[in-house]
Amino acid sequence: MSNIAIFASGSGSNAEQIIRYFSGNPEHAVKLILSNNANAYVLERAKNLSVPSFVFDRQTFYNAHKVLDLLREAEIDIIVLAGFLWLVPDYLLVTFPQRIINIHPALLPEFGGKGMYGARVHEAVIREGRKKSGITIHLIDEEYDRGNILFQAECPVLPGDTPDDLASRIHQLEHRYFPETINSYLENLGPLSYSAQIPTDKI
Ligand code: GAR
């Protein structure tokens, strides 16, 4: 049994797919949605799907224990970043080693890094005249868009594509593969032990 927390900053279409995929699953469940954006549509989706949500500001996320306390209370085993735009702080990396999964809307290692998210990624892919793009699902570490790749899938970039055209093709891939990649990863993962103490300099 694994409890999943999803961090999302925007629309949350991936978060919704993941919640729906795991609903009714006796093994794994989405327990919590967390967002840095009080206006994010993902919060509406969470409400409609009866998943509790929590909004934090920069100060709370980077300097306080509140987020960690919430994750502990909900006995979260794994964090999924579904369109989450802030760098994950050390205290979460330490508490959830190899247990934070991100999705990126391009074929990493290309078109990743700081500032490369959402439409900016698709604009760059089109501007550079690439014939294909895709998705990357990967574990995260202290750098943006690094860490072990769990899954990639490709799609074509067609002549005349706008960033929106490419985004919707990418979203289709994400919705199709993100939930099942999380599920496969969970199959080899036991519950998280919270017993390990977090070094105080990491909080
Ligand atoms: C997704 O395409 C995801 O790959 C991207 O944000 C979008 C969120 O869509 N993430 C990044 O760019 C992270 N670097 P959604 O809110 O509809 O799930």
Q: Which domains does the chain have, with CATH numbers?
A: 2-190 (3.40.50.170)
Classify the C-alpha dihedral 118-186-139-142 as positive or negative.
positive
Which residues sit with their C-beta closer than 6 Å to ligand 1? 8, 10-14, 82-83, 103-105, 117-118, 121, 170-171, 174
Distance, CA 103 to ligand 1 centroid (Å)? 7
Structure tokens at 65: 């224990």
Ligand 1 nearest-atom number relative to CA 170: 2
Residue 4: exposed, middle, or buried by beta-carbon count in 10 A (0-12, 13-18, 19+)?
buried
| Per-residue pLDDT at 135 exceeds 90 | yes
Ligand 1 nearest-atom number relative to CA 84: 13
Own/partner contacts of 48-53, CB < 8 Å, gap of 24 or more, are: 49/16, 49/19, 49/20, 49/23, 51/19
Distance, CA 88 to ligand 1 centroid (Å)? 15
Residue nearest to atom 11 of ligand 1 (CA): 117
What confidence score (pLDDT) does residue 65 get?
87
104 labelled catalytic: yes
| Per-residue pLDDT at 130 exceeds 70 | yes
What confidence score (pLDDT) does residue 191 get?
78
Mean pLDDT along residues 53-82: 95
For residue 162, how many other CB atoms are within 10 A of its CB? Answer: 12
What confidence score (pLDDT) does residue 189 get?
86
Q: How far is CA 25 from the centre of its chain?
A: 20
Strand pairing class (2-7; 78-81) = parallel
- The proportion of the chain whose per-residue pLDDT surpasses 70, expressed as a percent, equals 94
The Cα 185–Cα 182 span in angstroms is: 5
Which candidate in 28, 65, 104, 138 is catalytic? 104
| Per-residue pLDDT at 2 exceeds 70 | yes
What confidence score (pLDDT) does residue 33 get?
98
The residues, ordered by sequence, that sit 6+ positions from 183 with a Cβ below 8 Å of its Cβ are 21, 22, 28
Rg (CA), the chain: 17
Q: Over the chain, what is the mean pLDDT?
A: 93
DSSP for 132-168 reads EEEEEEEE--SSTT-S-EEEEEEEE--TT--HHHHHH
Ligand 1 nearest-atom number relative to CA 82: 18
Distance, CA 11 to ligand 1 centroid (Å)? 8
For residue 50, how many other CB atoms are within 10 A of its CB? Answer: 8
Q: pLDDT tens digit string along 21-54? A: 999 999 999 999 999 999 999 999 999 999 999 9
Mean pLDDT along residues 132-149: 87
Candidates 6, 9, 14: which one to mutate for ligand 1, based on the most atoms within 8 Å of Cβ? 14
| Per-residue pLDDT at 201 exceeds 70 | no
- What counts of helices (H) and strands (E) characterise the chain? 7, 7
